[in-house]
A and B are shown apart, each in its own frame.
Chain A
């Protein structure tokens, strides 16, 4: 895959803007750089050089080299710093895919791929709660809520709050009952061929619901199904998608009850830089009466990664913990007592980081916050 990016790679001028800025509140561009010894291979400029050498096939690939490249969270922040706008995210993803194809997989890569193939989710033998759907009434918009594996297995609270919000708003919806993986963990780890298989299985599951609209509260799932399937895997699929913030924004106007405190928003890298969704969640949060909304120091397209891609659910990588704690400190620095986000991976990593730092910042999921302040006209139906 790297071969097709070589022309772009050659154009890297080696200016180094992708390393550190230190200006305008942006300490480092790469979220992991400052938590490493800081070699060139720990930020984009050196990684581009590695991509060039791997793409040209003129370097001996070692496991240590692969390990350096795997420290990249694929957050894409370096793209915003690049004066010549190299497609750095895509280059680094292609590099990862090439390395995986060459057999440089880690035990976690095999474990995830095997679990997705066998269990239709990446989390092995773990169990989860099941959801009971009612059949949609004739003539109603068929809204299908796609919770995603991460929410299903690592943060069921997200599903609880999201479904409660939908019910309070009187939305007739169904939840995807089966285990089905969009394949994003395989994309993220560069296992493209395996992802294609997962994608084809996933589409078959979704077709059974005949949805008019699929709503996700997981940017990885949304990016996989909306962008990666057609653009990278060449898979056509018939569905329409919306992120939960896009779906809810027009529905909640005037329905949020007063709250208090200072809230801030963490842009998930995939939701922002990959999907371009910045304003809808902000508009929702800003519409909560009585609360003050403040931006983090690094926000919108310059938002900082939370570090989650380096962590597993079972274990925080030491760097993912530090990167997450950086973000919590930013929230504290702007005086926020709540940090809201809308990506299950960010949510989990930031919650753990908040626990570590004990800085009085509570991490909440977007629908969790909405659920708190959404009027209770509709009776809640308990999911079982």
Chain B
């Protein structure tokens, strides 16, 4: 019945019922347990998604939306009896509006393609994930999307002017100024509450984002990158805070956080004179701290043109269980050390901690590697991250992607709050049959 219904909507070519295809949609980029969907469907338009949702709603079929399938918290995996809806055919860049400074894309457009198209015209987007070549715009803003550029531009959510979303009953919602029929999506906060925000960070629980409008910026005249070595972690954290709260750089990358002898890159983008001035100010801040050494620009600058090819080489160490959350600058030292203690308590053989500072805090990442044949290590990693996630919440942290991995801990921590009640009430209102990515976040 499911296959017949989906086939009538998108055609036989874009419905996979064969076991061997469904078995390749059981995982994302995480250690979440695999789940086999009943079918995978690849709609090619918002109209087809409306029909799929109406069909799924009528028959109470759970729908898990999936973009590039490269997130790390299990948010795009199927649930029992459910289907996976892959958005990769929604791959059109609909409008690059250079007059008004925004781009409207379909949800399945990958960042690699979007950035390339914008670059040709002298524009760029604010934020791109490190997995930009595989990741899609719709999935990223649904997480809510941090990445390279996050001191200047914060999150992908902050770049969004409008989304078009399909609710579980098939209703189309345009947000921002586009909610006024016929109007352009040029401004987000208009015509009432910010309903755009309902879909940002929501990981598809309220509906499927099918189009998004993002701000664009002039491609920088100059990109300056300098690498530094710092003797002490606490010094590094103070430097990150000083640079970030003063809004001096586009982003800071610290992909390997240790207690001693850390490295980090500062990335400054803008007009030539502006970049030089910012670099001077950054250096004066950094040099005011002890135990800091500049390693120059040559290595990171030579990496820059190939930057999107080489993100992911850390996974030479195996597949990673990921605990990834935000903390304010003031809590980073305690947060990093608490996470490290838990990782070591569980005897994890191979892990890295990373830090990606934003303007008011940072993304704290722990990657716990294992080779999949090592089931003992796999079980240890699961036990470790099950202890790290509630601890992160108790520290005042906020998970980046929630997926299904964080859901039970979020509910435990948040269930008595008005936020949780409202979130659940909205979920019940828009999705009374609980078919939209059920189990994600916990609403």
Contacts from A to B (Cβ < 8 Å): 7, 10-11, 13-17, 19-25, 27, 37-41, 45-46, 49-50, 53, 59-62, 64-65, 68, 81, 83-85
Interface contact A83-B315, CB-CB below 8 Å: yes
Interface contact B40-A39, CB-CB below 8 Å: yes
| Nearest CB on A from B240, distance (A) | 26
Residues of A within 8 A of B313 (CB): 83-84
A46-B311 Cα distance, complex, nearest whole Å: 21
Check B430 for interface membership: any CB of A closer than 8 A.
no
Interface contact B68-A13, CB-CB below 8 Å: no
Interface contact A11-B133, CB-CB below 8 Å: no
A215-B25 Cα distance, complex, nearest whole Å: 47
Stretch in B12-20, B157-165, B251-259 with 4+ CB within 8 Å of A: B12-20
Cβ < 8 Å to A, chain B residues 4-48: 13-14, 16, 18-21, 23-25, 27-29, 40, 42
| Nearest CB on B from A372, distance (A) | 36
| Nearest CB on A from B269, distance (A) | 17
| Nearest CB on A from B14, distance (A) | 6
Closest residue to A20 on the B side, CB-wise? B110
Interface contact B134-A25, CB-CB below 8 Å: no
Interface contact A62-B29, CB-CB below 8 Å: no
Could you name 12 residue pairs across A and B whose Cβ atoms are closer than 8 Å? A7-B373, A13-B29, A14-B29, A15-B134, A22-B116, A23-B115, A24-B116, A27-B113, A46-B21, A59-B23, A64-B20, A84-B316
Check B89 for interface membership: any CB of A closer than 8 A.
yes
Taking A22-B112, A22-B116, A23-B133 as contacts, is the C-beta distance between A83 and B18 under 8 angstroms? no
Interface contact B113-A22, CB-CB below 8 Å: yes
Interface contact A13-B319, CB-CB below 8 Å: yes
Interface contact B315-A15, CB-CB below 8 Å: yes
A81-B42 Cα distance, complex, nearest whole Å: 24
Count of B interface residues, CB-CB < 8 Å: 45
Q: Which of B133, B308, B319 has the most CB of A within 10 A?
A: B133
| Nearest CB on B from A165, distance (A) | 38
| Nearest CB on B from A39, distance (A) | 5
Interface contact B19-A59, CB-CB below 8 Å: yes
| Nearest CB on B from A159, distance (A) | 40
The 9 A-B residue pairs with the shortest CB-CB distance, nearest first, are: A22-B113, A83-B312, A16-B134, A23-B112, A22-B112, A40-B24, A46-B24, A65-B20, A10-B372
Residues of B within 8 A of A16 (CB): 29, 68-70, 131, 133-134
Residues of B within 8 A of A68 (CB): 20-21
Check B114 for interface membership: any CB of A closer than 8 A.
yes
A125-B8 Cα distance, complex, nearest whole Å: 47
Residues of A within 8 A of B89 (CB): 38
Interface contact A62-B14, CB-CB below 8 Å: no
| Nearest CB on A from B64, distance (A) | 14
Check B154 for interface membership: any CB of A closer than 8 A.
no
Taking A22-B133, A23-B133 as contacts, is the C-beta distance between A11 and B372 under 8 angstroms? yes
Q: Which of A13, A16, A27, A85 has the most CB of B within 10 A?
A: A13
Check B396 for interface membership: any CB of A closer than 8 A.
no
Closest residue to B131 on the A side, CB-wise? A15
Q: Which of B69, B112, B134 has the most CB of A within 10 A?
A: B134
Check B88 for interface membership: any CB of A closer than 8 A.
yes
Interface contact A37-B13, CB-CB below 8 Å: yes
Interface contact B69-A41, CB-CB below 8 Å: no
Interface contact A23-B116, CB-CB below 8 Å: yes
Residues of B within 8 A of A17 (CB): 131, 133-134, 312
Interface contact B116-A64, CB-CB below 8 Å: no
Check B222 for interface membership: any CB of A closer than 8 A.
no
Check B303 for interface membership: any CB of A closer than 8 A.
no
**Additional A-B contacts beyond A11-B371, A14-B69, A23-B111 (14; CB < 8 A):** A7-B373, A16-B134, A19-B68, A20-B113, A20-B133, A21-B113, A23-B112, A23-B113, A23-B133, A39-B42, A41-B24, A61-B20, A62-B20, A81-B133
Interface contact A41-B133, CB-CB below 8 Å: no
A41-B86 Cα distance, complex, nearest whole Å: 14
A369-B9 Cα distance, complex, nearest whole Å: 52
Residues of B within 8 A of A62 (CB): 18, 20
A16-B319 Cα distance, complex, nearest whole Å: 13
Taking A40-B21, A84-B312 as contacts, is the C-beta distance between A22 and B27 under 8 angstroms? no
B 46-89 to A, binary, CB cutoff 8 A, 1 in contact else 0: 00000000000000000000001110000000000000000011
Residues of A within 8 A of B21 (CB): 39-41, 46, 68
| Nearest CB on B from A47, distance (A) | 8
A23-B115 Cα distance, complex, nearest whole Å: 7
Taking A13-B29, A50-B20 as contacts, is the C-beta distance between A23 and B132 under 8 angstroms? yes
A17-B110 Cα distance, complex, nearest whole Å: 11
Check B318 for interface membership: any CB of A closer than 8 A.
yes
Check B310 for interface membership: any CB of A closer than 8 A.
yes
Residues of A within 8 A of B319 (CB): 11, 13
Closest residue to B25 on the A side, CB-wise? A40
Residues of A within 8 A of B28 (CB): 14
Q: Which of B13, B70, B318 has the most CB of A within 10 A?
A: B70
A22-B110 Cα distance, complex, nearest whole Å: 7
Residues of B within 8 A of A19 (CB): 68, 134
Residues of A within 8 A of B310 (CB): 83
Residues of B within 8 A of A84 (CB): 312-313, 315-316
Residues of B within 8 A of A40 (CB): 21, 24-25, 69
B 98-133 to A, binary, CB cutoff 8 A, 1 in contact else 0: 000000000000111111100000000000000111
Interface contact A21-B133, CB-CB below 8 Å: yes
Interface contact B112-A14, CB-CB below 8 Å: no
A68-B315 Cα distance, complex, nearest whole Å: 28
Closest residue to B116 on the A side, CB-wise? A23
Closest residue to B119 on the A side, CB-wise? A23
Interface contact A37-B373, CB-CB below 8 Å: no
Residues of A within 8 A of B132 (CB): 23
Interface contact A49-B134, CB-CB below 8 Å: no
